[in-house]
Copies of this chain bind each other. A is one copy, B any other.
Amino acid sequence: MSDKQKIVIIGCNAAGINAANAARKTDPSSEIIIIQKEKVPAYSRCGMPYVLAHEIPKFEDLIIFPPSHYRMMKFDLRTETTAISCDPKEHIVEVESKEGEKEKITYNSLVLATGATPFIVPVKGQDLENVFAIRTLDDGREIQEAMKDAKSAVVIGAGFIGLETAHALVENHIQTTIVELLPSIIPTLFDYDMAGYVQQMIEANGVKMLMGKRISEILGNKKVTGVKIGDLKIDCDLVIMATGVRPSVDLAREIGCELGITRAIRVNPQMRTNIPDVYAAGDCVESQSMITGLPCLIQLGTNAVRQGKVAGINAAGGYSTFPGVICAAMSKIFDFEIGAAGLTENQAQQAGFRTVSGIITGATRAEYFPGAKEIRVKIVAEPYMGRVMGAQLVGGEDVAQRANMLSIAIQNEMTVRQLMNADTGYAPPLCDTWEPIALASEIAAKKIER
C-alpha cells in the first residue's frame, strides 16, 4: 500500500460536500481537506426564500450536516478560508484563513467546487444600502433583517429565485414589484405562452410584474428609496437582484483550466478538467445537454450534487461518469408548482430544430374527485421523428414528479407517439384516467406531417 492520498476540495456546498462524501466512501483512508470561504459549510441555498417566507423556521435548518458528520467522515474542514493560488505542476494549493494566515497544501487530487457569484446589474445605485443579492446565508440574514422595516420591494429578475423571493416578500406583507428585462418570466424554462399563464397566477397573488423593462438607476442617498425604469419611478425600500449567477472560475482560469463557450469550466464526463488531477463540479462547470449534445450552463442543485459525487469518486481513484443534463427543474410559488424538463420551444428552435408543441389543461385528480386542481402541460417535440425535446408544467399539485417523469422520457428519446400511449396509472384521488401529459403529447403528435 502506498501512502495515504490527499484530496483537496475547494468549496463546501452542494457539489463540494457530495464530492467529499463520495471520496470518503471510495477511499476510506484518504486525507480529505475541504476549503470553505463561508463561515458555515454545506447549506441549502435553494431553501433560503422559504425561510424568508416563514415556511422553514430558521436559516440554521438549511445546514445539511451537523459538525459531527465532518468529524465522522474525518474531513479536515477549513471554514472562512480562501484558496488564493495554486501550482498544478507541484500539486500545491495555497489557502488563506480569515486571520490572514497562509498555508500551502499539497494534493494528489484537487476538486474545484467554487460555485457561482450573483450577477449584479451594473447600474448606478447598486451599492446602496438595502440592495441585495440572494446567494449566501449572510445575504439571507441581511434580507430578513431589512424586510422587518420594509413596506415595498423591487425584485430584479423573474427566474425561479426572483419569483420565490417575491413570494417571500408578499408573505411578509411587503408590496412587491418584479422587473424583468426579457419579455416573459422564467425564460430559460418556459416559453412565452406558458409563462404568460404563470405570470397571471403570480399577479393574482398581488405581485406587480413589469416585463421587458430595464432598471436604469437605483435611487437613494445612502439607503435605497426606489428604482428608475426610463421615466418611470417606483418607490421601494428594498431591492433584490435575482439576475442569475456567473460561474466562479478565477482560480480555475489562473491554473490554466480550459473554459467552455458558456465561460464555465470545461470537464469530461469524469468531471476532469484539462489540468492533470484537477476536477470540477457544480455551478462552476459547463455541462453537456443530453438532448442536443451541445455545451450548456445548467446551474441547478440537482446537477451539482450528482456532479460532485462523480468528481469525488474519480478524485479518490474510483471510476464514475456524469451522463450530461436534461435540466429538470421545479419550484413552488404561492399555492402552485412550476416544473420543466429539457428545452423550451424557443431554445430548441435556437439550436436549429423545427418544433411542434401541444398544450392542454387537465386535472390532477379524477374530475369528480373534490379538490382536483388544474394542471397545464406543454410538450415540445421535433416533427421528424416526433422526439420529445422539452416540457413545461404548472399546476396546483403533483407537478414536480411529472417534470421528473418527462426528464426520464426525454433522456430515453421517447417520441410524442410513445408518450401519448405510455402506461401511466389511474386512481381517482391521485390522477385522471387520461394523463394530461399523454393528451398534450397527442396534440403535438397530430401536428406532425406524415
Q: CB within 8 Å of B: which residues of A?
A: 14, 44, 46-47, 50, 55-57, 61-62, 290, 300-303, 305-306, 322-323, 325-332, 337, 339, 341, 366, 368-370, 398-405, 407-409, 411-412, 414, 418, 421-431, 433-435
B301:A426 contact, CB within 8 angstroms = yes
For residue A425, which residues in chain B have a CB less than 8 angstroms away from its CB?
A: 300, 302, 328-330, 339, 341, 400, 403-404, 407
Contact A46 B427 (CB under 8 A): yes
A411 to B408, CA, bound (A): 11
Contact flag A328-B423 (CB < 8 Å), given A398-B401, A408-B409:
yes
Closest beta carbon of chain B to A29's beta carbon, Å: 20
A407 / chain B contacts, CB cutoff of 8 Å? 422-425
Q: Can you give 20 contacting A-B residue pairs, CB < 8 Å?
A: A44-B368, A47-B368, A47-B369, A47-B428, A55-B370, A62-B368, A300-B425, A303-B423, A326-B423, A328-B425, A331-B427, A341-B423, A399-B430, A400-B430, A402-B404, A407-B423, A408-B408, A408-B409, A408-B414, A409-B412
**A46 proximity list for chain B (CB < 8 A):** 366, 426-428
Are B302 and A332 interface neighbours, CB within 8 A? no
Closest to A48 in B: B428
A430 near B61: Cβ-Cβ < 8 Å: no
Q: In whole angstroms, how far apart are the Cα atoms of A341 and B369 in the complex?
A: 23
Which residues of the partner chain B approach A418 to less than 8 Å between Cβ atoms?
Answer: 323, 411
Per the bound structure, the CA–CA distance linking A428 and B47 in Å amounts to 6
